[in-house]
Structure 1
Amino acid sequence: MKFDNPEDIVQLTPLWEGERFENGRPKVPEDILRRMRKITLEEAWGPLWNRGYKNQFEGDLRIVHPDKIMVGRAVTAVMVPLRPDLHETLLKYGHEREGRRGFFNQWVIDSLGEDDVVVVDMYDKIYQGTYVGGNLSTAIATRTKRGGAVIWGGIRDIQQIVHIDGINVYYRGSDPTAIGDCTMVGMNVPARIGRTVCLPGDVVLGTPSGVIFIPPHLAEPTVVQAEKSQVRDVFGFIRLKEGVYTTAQIDAAWNVPLWEDFLGWFGSAEEAAEYRHLEWDRELEEARNSAHDGPGGSVRL
């Protein structure tokens, strides 16, 4: 076996058609990550759920900075309990064949780049399952700039980590012991985090509610749908305050006159300026088709 094997990573992510890192990991564009930081958990969850991705959210985690949003590309690791022969074989292989240094967790952190998030299946091990402490968290912050870690296991040195800028950490528990009695059996392979599955290159969105793993090929559609929901809500709040429409009109499928009112507002209102990269041809066409089909129409997106 090989750690961080490009052929395996490409095989695992065939639906991604964009740029990749040298190791084959999908490289979701920075602009998508920037826009992802502005959407809510529920706005990201909806498009995934509707496409059949129903095991992408995990909320049973503690958070170092619950008031901060974390977004980045997943770098995954899978750990298992210690079995001496397996442990020595894999540790020796990494050191001698792949030129890696230190313990397994250091291998992963040494591979990180800007906007990466470490996602570790530590099989819920907390005692001697502390994947990061103050030093490795500092290294994560330095390498990723805005990233962090999701660890289905433990961390240590929390009193140090809370003072490190540019990082957030989601974890199961804390313990003063160092990491031990465990072995890494996969790097940039599928990782189970509670009831979720994370693949290398997934966009990790960490919120006060928990984390959601967004497949790279769905990152842009998810952001676009979320942004459309946001700006429609802004318009709806304004028109409701003005008394132009009822809540029933705003919450139902929009008819053609309401869409035309929205698009006029969208093209000139200051509140809509940051959303003007969005296109609405499909929605307007659906409203027109619905008008031809009679009452009932389509459901609001």
Structure 2
Amino acid sequence: MKFDHPEDIVRLTPLWKGERFANGRPKVSEDVLRRIRKITLEEAWGPLWNRGYPFQFEGDFKIVHPNQVMVGRAVTAVLVPKRPDLHDTLLNYGHEQEGRRGFFNQWVIDALVEDDVVVVDMFDKVHMGTYVGGNLSTAISTRTKRGGAVIWGGIRDNQQVAQIENINIFYRGSDPTAIADVTMVGMNVPTRIGRAVCLPGDVVLGTPAGVIFIPPHLAELTVVQAEKSQARDVFGFVRLKEGRYSTAQIDAAWGVALWEDYLQWFNSDEAAAEYRHLTWEAELADARRNERGGPQSDVRL
């Protein structure tokens, strides 16, 4: 029995082949996190849905900063109602065997690093289920710089928390009581947040519409597909304003001629400059095969 066990975390995330933290948690790159901050929830949702990940979104939250996007790597925790024998065993184990201090929620927050987001299943408990208040939210701010928390439970000290501008918190409700009668049974383990599943190291994208958890092995693919959608939209708006194409042509599968027009614009227009790290060979090849009546490759948005 261990909290935050590296071997377990690695076994839970075998599809991730990149860098990891010392505890085994996948470390999606800062560049990918930066780019995800620029995409919409729907742009992130599409690639996941199309690849068999329909249970990654939950929208039934209150939000401390409703118009502020939050992105970071998940640090997860699962709590259950207090049962005295289990509670004492796990609390004593953390203190005596792992050298942890304070209560269960403090253990998680003490483990945070830059760009982390706490993701907590507290079984929708609000009264005496306030996972953070002013002090712990300040600690989250200090440790994560621009992260935050997703709490399937409560918070307190809302007026103080709202003054912390560099993080965001998604939560179920508020209460003046302190956290009590709960026991943490897992840290950096699979976590259920409403309808969604979150694993340690998932990229958390919090928006005004809710939160989506992006598996780390799909994070770069997701942002690339989102950026491609954005770039094509910019081109489409330009050509529609010029009257060169109809909406039906822009919205339908593009033929070779339209793709060639797009690529000429993409390689020369200043509006496309921020997207020039993207490549389009597969899409153009698909258009050529389609015109010849051949099979298409697996290019999915």
TM-score of the pair, normalised by structure 2: 0.98
Q: Which runs of 4+ in 1 moved over 2 A?
A: 296-301
2:34 partner amino acid: R
Task: Give the residue type in structure 2 aligned to 1:232.
Answer: R
Query: What does 1:124-203 correspond to in 2, within 5 Å?
Result: 124-203=124-203
Are 1:123 and 2:130 an aligned pair?
A: no
Q: C-alpha deviations, 1:181-200, integer Å up to 9, x for none? A: 00000000001000111000
Query: How far, CA to CA, are the matches of 2:119 and 2:220 in structure 1?
Result: 21
Corresponding residue for residue 230 of structure 1: 230
Q: 1:16 deviation in Å?
A: 0.2
The residue aligned with 2:106 is 106
The equivalent of 1:40 in structure 2 is 40
Aligned partners of 1:274, 1:111: CA distance in 2, in Å?
35
Whole-angstrom distance in 1 between the partners of 2:52 and 2:44: 13
| Residue of structure 1 equivalent to 2:283 | 283
Cα distance between partner residues in 1 of 2:255 and 2:90 = 62
The answer to whether the aligner puts 1:95 opposite 2:95 as a matched pair is: yes
Percentage identity across paired residues of the two chains: 79
Name 1:262's counterpart in structure 2. 262
Q: Is the 8 A contact 1:287 1:297 kept in 2?
A: no
Cα drift, residue 293 of structure 1: 1.1
| Aligned-partner Cα distance in 1 for 2:181–2:101 | 18
Q: In structure 2, how many angstroms separate the alpha carbons of the residues matched to 1:125 and 1:146?
A: 26
Alignment correspondent of 1:86:
86
| RMSD of Structure 2 on Structure 1 (CA) | 1.4
Q: Which runs of 5+ in 1 are unaligned?
A: none
State the match for 1:272 in structure 2.
272
| d(CA) in 2 for partners of 1:258, 1:3 | 55
C-alpha deviation, 1:166, in angstroms: 1.1
The Cα of 1:38 is off from its aligned counterpart by 0.3
In the superposition, relative to structure 1, how do residues 143 and 299 fare at CA in structure 2: closer, same or farther (>3 Å)? closer
In 1, Cα distance between equivalents of 2:73 and 2:118:
8
Change over 3 Å in CA distance of 1:82–1:299 after alignment to 2: closer
CA shift for structure 1 position 165: 2.3
C-alpha offsets along residues 61-108 of structure 1, whole Å, 9 cap, x if unaligned?
A: 110001100000000000000000100000000000000000000000
The count of aligned residue pairs is 300
In structure 1, distance between residues paired with 2:49 and 2:90 = 37
Q: How far apart, CA to CA, are the structure 2 residues paired with 1:267 and 1:241?
A: 20
- Secondary structure of 1:286's counterpart equals helix
Rounded to whole Å, the distance in 1 between the matches of 2:71 and 2:100 is 27
8 Å CA contact retained: 1:267, 1:276: yes
Q: Give the corresponding residue for 2:62.
A: 62
In the TM superposition, residue 31 of structure 1 has moved relative to its aligned partner by 0.2
Structure 2 gap ranges (5+)? none
Q: Does the residue aligned with 2:154 lie in a helix, a strand or coil?
A: strand
Change (3 A) 1:219 1:300: closer
Q: Quote how far apart the aligned CAs of 1:300 are.
A: 8.4
Amino acid at match of 2:116: D
Residues of 1 paired with 2:233 and 2:55: CA distance?
A: 27
Counterpart of 1:76 in 2: which secondary structure? Answer: strand
Amino acid at match of 1:230: Q
Contact between 1:253 and 1:297, CA under 8 Å: does it hold in 2?
A: no
- Contact map agreement 2:282 2:299 (CA 8 A) in 1: no
Write the distance in 2 (CA, Å) between the matches of 1:270 and 1:178. Answer: 53
CA positional deviation for 1:299: 9.5
Indicate if the aligned counterparts of 1:122 and 1:129 stay in contact, CA closer than 8 A.
Answer: yes
How far apart, in 2, do the equivalents of 1:221 and 1:160 lie? 38
User: Cα deviations across residues 185-232 of structure 1 (Å, max 9, x unaligned)?
Assistant: 000000100011100000000000000000000000000000000000
Aligned to 2:17: 17
| Partner-residue secondary structure (3-state), 1:17 | coil
In the alignment, the residues of structure 2 paired with residue 18 and residue 297 of structure 1 have an alpha-carbon distance, to the nearest angstrom, of 26
Counterpart Cα distance in 2 of 1:226 and 1:74? 21
